[in-house]
Structure 1
Amino acid sequence: MAAAEEVRFSLKVITLKESCKVLYAQVDIDFADVLLSFLTLPLGTIVRLLIKHYGSNAPILGSLNSLYAGLQDLDSSHFWTEAGKFMLLNPRNSSGIQCSRLKLQIDDIPPIQCFECCNGTCVSMYNKVKCLCPNSTGTMIRRDLEIEPKMETGFVSAPTASFLLTDDLQILANSPTSLFRILKLNGIEHTNVLEERTLTVGLKEIMELLKGSLVSKTPLTDIILCLSTEAVTSNERKRLSASAIYETDALCRTLNGQNVRPDSKKINIKAFVQKSTNRILLAETRQDLVDFLFSFLAIPLGRVQFLLGGNTCAGSISNLYRSISNLEIGEHMKSREAIVRLLQPQLPLYCMSSYQIFSLDQESSPELYRLCNSNRVKLSVSTPIGICRKLKMIDPKGQDCFVKGPTTFMVTDDLVVSTPSSTSIISILNKIKIPLSDVEERELDIGMEEALSILKASLTSTGALTDGLKPFLTRQPKQKK
């Protein structure tokens, strides 16, 4: 497979001559697979990839950047294992094998790695994990991994299929029905106002598209054609983004009711609130909320969409998510399993925590076998011929959660987690320049509703605690006396 920097896609793009607005692009299955794979990426992977690609110019994705930075800076001694912190900073893609043979892979984390103990009886997907086998030195040895070739890869089916991708990232079957709907919704009466261009895009443009999918309502216009978002007036932006095909989406109505349960787990915190604005300045909490917040980074983007009813309010990614449900199995998509991997992707293996509030599931443990007379390990859907033994998987985080306790932590409004000290608290108070008379302490319970609201706010707001919990502050007990 060619290096990612060498891969190129050719797109036919239809634009409006006068405004250079992209109406739609015609894309092949290779490009469609890469675009759909965005939904399988964990939030932590997206933050890491954008920082790696853009450096100091990386986009700010709500409070996720500061959550990720806080995790990086938090001493490893607060985690049960060093591997536990590493797997949150570098979460695996639970659909990594399905994405491993795409024409372009933007995720640089291998779909699965194999580290075998010196006894040859157990394995881990992460290094720096201690084996607990009797008479073991605890050393793990890197092994070559053979993946069974018949495992399904990719998401789109027919090799000759093509799709129409609208400016706001709705992916549609390439058909007269889709074309006429796009023209009608954009108010196009005469085709002489349209212009066709052929664009060649590579890794740089795909990364721009990933960024744009989370921050722009018109990513194809803004990014592929390099139209400056600052140059577009608010009225023009309304017109440019007025092509949504799904005015009311049944998927959203179906999912919303599934995620809030009266018996969901609750986490108690102390919030220090500015009375005059109802702004949360910081929160004092135990390891339970910290563990839960860090778990955001392991949740795939498609699962976030599922939890939030297909409406994150972040860029155009919700349009891509919703439009998948209208693609036919067999004609457009490979299988029902491929669709589920996009609409309800699972957490990476061992990323489930006992402090998790959301109703989530994680990928099942792979079947790993050591081959006879070889240092190779085989990943198989069935028992391979010539095996030596089936290997036991080790949970790299060591416990049923990531963060040690009991410990007191401090969480700022933009989700930076740290251990509190008098100097750090004074530094925060000096920075925000608020008199202490305007600050009160409130006890808050974080249940399913509050957790979903924080998750949604974390995607778009640098004040995720305030924006996430503001609707619930009036329900909670007031200042302690």
Structure 2
Amino acid sequence: MAAAEEDRFSLRVMTVKGRNKVLYAEIDCDFADVLFSFLTLPLGKIMRLLIQHYGNNAPILGSLKSLYVGLENLDSCHFWTEAGKLMLLDPRNSSEIQCSRLKLQIYDIDPMQCFVCRNGTCASMHHRVKCVCLNPNSSSTTMKRFIEIEHRSGDKGVFTVQTASFLLTDNLMVLPDSPISLLWLFKLYGIEDTNVLEERTLIVGLKEIMELLKGSLVSSTPLTDIFLGISTVASTFKTRKEYLMSAIPEPDDLSSTPMKINVKVVVQSSTNRILLAQTREDFVDFLFSLLTIPLGSVQSLLDNKTCFWSINNLYRSISNLEIGEHIKSEETVDRLLEPELPLYYLSSSQIFPLGEQSSPELYRLFNSNRIKYFESTPRDVWHEMNMIDPTGKDCFVKGPTTFTVTDDLVVSIPSSTSMISILNQMKIPLSDVEVQELDIGIEEALSLLRASLISTQALTDGLKPFLKTQPRDQK
């Protein structure tokens, strides 16, 4: 997507002489809205945008890239519907209506669409779905007739109050634009003499916003990286590895998510490294469903203690801003801090306690192509439509099927040569290999989610704490 000429921001940026550092930038409500919209993006959407924009130079982001590419390469026959696979590859944003009003959009947001069967009684949000109505001529017909849904219009704001202005720090803290905030920043960074400050005016467009999205995920100083061209990514790598060794956030309520998924893992006994996992479709469905989780929900699940240091600050800022003065409403806060999954994205294999948008009540005007939402039952001239789940079976991946998952979360169909290839490549003798079984519940899933964000050995780093660690001769 190419930003139009008017889709630009002019930022007043304050730098520190001699330090090669951005201290803060003055931003308006429109720029703050774009920043906060990052939290509504699903992980799969983020990965898709980065791959499209940067190609082979897209950041790795732990095992998310290999998980996404593996999904892309997995044959569609392993999904209940082709629509289900496409939903995973390009997950929708549950705040798309709000994000469509952003001054600058980093991806094209299509209006909400409805595809109707030939009989005019069944509807789906995806066109590659088969009709299920009783009309024999329509029962095997793919949705083809497109109708754009008339949605209730809202106000013109997005996430922040339109009159608000902010200070944005180098590590993406968003503060009210006030003298008190400025003094706090000076003390925080040890600024004793304002003569060391240097003002610059910078123009920010789509390219810089994409750099900011990438920087928010890989750097603790994204403004300095972008505006001064000084990267700190390498210096934060060691800290990121140490993050994997920290304690896993304990879920608030283990009893709320009793689901357990059994997985067999092939382990190198001497190191407890997981070489691969053999699993059924439920675990693979769960892994692919990680791509549908909005960034704000990832922060919530991990208690805002992720390896995305700058996103942690952005997330924390929302709670510190005043509702009505800076943030529009309590509903807006919830939308950013605990965003829901879009309709039909909550898989039955999902271990995490996530919410999903409610099913819309769509009505079609008799003898017309007009379709719209209603909050209450409409008059007789409107006919309620039968909404079809595009995933087919309340989940994405078809079973019963056995899959293999590599340490970096590449999913494939088992082959006789895959295990041999791994052992030969890593020069591991058969005597140093064993099979263990794990039950993946909420604690294991949280650990795996955290590892997937930073490590290219997500299975090992995420599940190693739950393996049997005693040496073979002591068993």
TM-score normalised per structure 1: 0.90
Partner of 1:25: 25
Q: Which residue of 2 aligns with 1:325?
A: 319
The residue aligned with 1:145 is 149
Which residue of structure 1 aligns with residue 68 of structure 2? 68
Q: Alpha carbons of 1:219 and 1:259: their partners in 2 closer, same or farther (altered >3 Å)?
A: farther
* Preserved contact between residue 114 and residue 124 of structure 2 (Cα < 8 Å): yes
After superposition, what is the alpha-carbon deviation per residue over 1:284-318, rounded to whole angstroms, capped at 9, x for unaligned? 11111101110000000000000000111124111
**Alignment check: 8 A CA contact 2:122 2:132 kept:** no
Superposed counterparts of 1:361-400, under 5 Å: 361-371=355-365, 374-379=368-373, 381=375, 388-400=382-394
Partner secondary structure for residue 50 of structure 2: helix
Tell me, in whole angstroms, the C-alpha distance in 2 between the residues paired with 1:411 and 1:453: 17
CA contact (8 A) 2:220 2:232 kept: no
Q: Does 1:228 align with 2:231?
A: yes
Please list every run of 5 or more consecutive structure 1 residues that lacks an aligned counterpart in the other structure.
239-252
User: CA distance change for structure 1 residues 380 and 50 in 2, over 3 Å: closer, same or farther?
Assistant: farther
Name which of structure 1's ranges 449-458 and 118-127 shifts more when overlaid on structure 2. 118-127
2:258 alignment partner, one of 260, 264, 277: 264
Contact persistence 1:97–1:153 (CA under 8 A):
no
The number of residue pairs the alignment matches comes to 461
Deviation at 1:440, TM superposition (A): 1.4
1:177 aligned residue: 180
- Answering whether residue 219 of structure 2 is matched by residue 216 of structure 1, we say yes
For the residues of structure 2 that align with 1:273 and 1:258, how far apart are their CA atoms?
Answer: 31
Instruction: For residue 110 of structure 1, report the CA deviation from its aligned partner.
Output: 2.4
The Cα of 1:432 is off from its aligned counterpart by 2.4
Counterpart of 2:10 in structure 1 is 10
What is the SS of the residue equivalent to 2:159?
coil
Structure 1 runs (4+) deviating above 6 angstroms are 232-235, 383-386, 475-479
Given that residues 15 and 21 in structure 1 are in contact (C-alpha distance below 8 angstroms), is that contact kept between their aligned partners in structure 2? yes
> Does the 8 Å CA contact 2:257/2:351 hold for their aligned counterparts?
no
2:188 and 2:350 mapped to 1: Cα distance? 42
Aligned-partner Cα distance in 2 for 1:168–1:131: 50
Q: Could you say if the C-alpha distance between residues 262 and 328 of structure 1 is closer, same or farther in structure 2, counting changes exceeding 3 Å?
A: closer
- Cα distance in 2, alignment partners of residues 176 and 387 from structure 1: 59
Q: What is the SS of the residue equivalent to 1:46?
A: helix
Output the aligned Cα RMSD: 2.6
Report the counterpart of residue 284 of structure 2 in structure 1: 290
Which residue identity does 2:151 align to in structure 1?
A: I
Gap change, CA 1:16 and 1:415, over 3 Å in 2: same
Matched, 1:462 2:466: no
Structure 2: where are the runs of 5+ without partners? Answer: 240-246
Instruction: State whether residues 162 and 174 of structure 1, in contact with CA within 8 Å, keep that contact through their aligned partners in structure 2.
Output: yes
The 1:429–1:197 alpha-carbon spacing in structure 2 relative to 1, beyond 3 Å, is same
Aligned runs of 1:420-459 on 2, under 5 Å? 420-459=414-453
1:344 corresponds to: 338
Deviations 1:61-99 (A, max 9, x none): 110000011111111111111111111111110111111
Equivalent in the alignment of 2:402: 408
Mean alpha-carbon deviation: is it higher for 78-87 or for 438-447? 438-447
1:290 and 1:403 in contact (8 A); partners too: yes
Q: Cα 1:329–1:478, aligned 2, differ >3 Å: closer, same or farther?
A: farther
- Cα 1:103/1:384, change in 2 over 3 Å: farther
The answer on whether the counterparts of 1:33 and 1:154 sit within 8 Å (CA) in structure 2 is: yes
Aligned to 2:38: 38
Worse-superposed segment, 104-113 or 354-363: 104-113
Other structure's SS at 1:414 match: coil
Question: How many percent of aligned residue pairs carry the same amino acid?
Answer: 67
Residue 335, structure 1, aligned to residue 329, structure 2: yes
Contact 1:28 1:161 in 2 (8 A): yes
Q: Which amino acid aligns with 1:207?
A: M
**SS of corresponding position for 1:15:** strand
Which segment is superposed worse, 414-423 or 398-407?
398-407
Tell me, in whole angstroms, the C-alpha distance in 1 between the residues paired with 2:338 and 2:57: 31
Distance 2:235 2:129 in 1: 54
Contact kept, 8 Å, 1:5 with 1:203, in 2: the verdict is: no
Is 2:257–2:352's contact at 8 Å kept on the other side of the alignment? no
